[in-house]
């Protein structure tokens, strides 16, 4: 699937956020035991490691950008209005991946799907129809969503 260069995206006014390659490492404490979402368990009083979120979320700095979610078409995938998506342009998109795509220059985030030989974009909210490009429409996959960040 073809992709759109980031400089063309910026020229179209899309608010692209790029990771700072010179960002200082910020390793935060990572507890050895996960926290349960059900009944509480005895707490461990020690740390297992440290976690740098840049290192955790970004595999390929030059191919990675971030973009903010607007709307509710992907709530079934737990992506909500205001989330920041981490997108890897270097990753090969596969059916089932959540992708940032442009259909005739209109940008969206959806799950990549296929019927027969035709690709289409599937929302994760039943209130929205799939986006099935018509003959002659341009579908460009910008990149694969590899993570998201949400601030409460």
Q: pLDDT class for 75, splitting at 50, 70, 90?
A: very high
Give per-residue pLDDT as tens, 63-73. 888 889 999 99
pLDDT at 122 over 70: yes
The domains of the chain, with CATH numbers, are 6-21+58-149 (2.10.109.10)
- 87 contacts 65 by C-beta, under 8 angstroms: yes
What pLDDT was estimated at residue 135? 87
Active site residue ranges: 73, 110
Give per-residue pLDDT as tens, 19-55. 677 777 766 566 665 666 666 655 555 556 777 888 8
10 Å CB burial of residue 117 (0-12, 13-18, 19+) is exposed
Provide DSSP, 57-117.
H-S-GGGEEEEE--SSTTGGGT--TT-EEEEETTSPP-TT-EEEEEETTEEEEEEEEEETT
């Amino acid at each position: 699937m073809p992709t759109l260069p980031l400089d063309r995206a910026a020229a179209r006014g899309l608010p692209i956020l790029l990771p700072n390659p010179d960002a200082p490492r910020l390793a935060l404490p990572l507890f050895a035991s996960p926290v349960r979402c059900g009944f509480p368990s005895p707490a461990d009083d020690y740390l297992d490691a440290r976690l740098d979120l840049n290192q955790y979320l970004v595999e390929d700095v030059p191919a990675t950008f971030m973009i903010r979610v607007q709307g509710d078409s992907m709530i079934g995938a737990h992506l909500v209005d205001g989330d920041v998506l981490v997108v890897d342009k270097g990753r090969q998109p596969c059916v089932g991946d959540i992708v940032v795509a442009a259909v005739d220059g209109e940008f969206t985030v959806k799950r990549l799907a296929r019927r027969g030989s035709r690709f289409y974009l599937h929302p994760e909210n039943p209130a929205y129809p799939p986006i099935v490009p018509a003959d002659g429409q341009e579908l460009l996959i910008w990149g694969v969503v590899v993570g998201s960040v949400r601030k409460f």
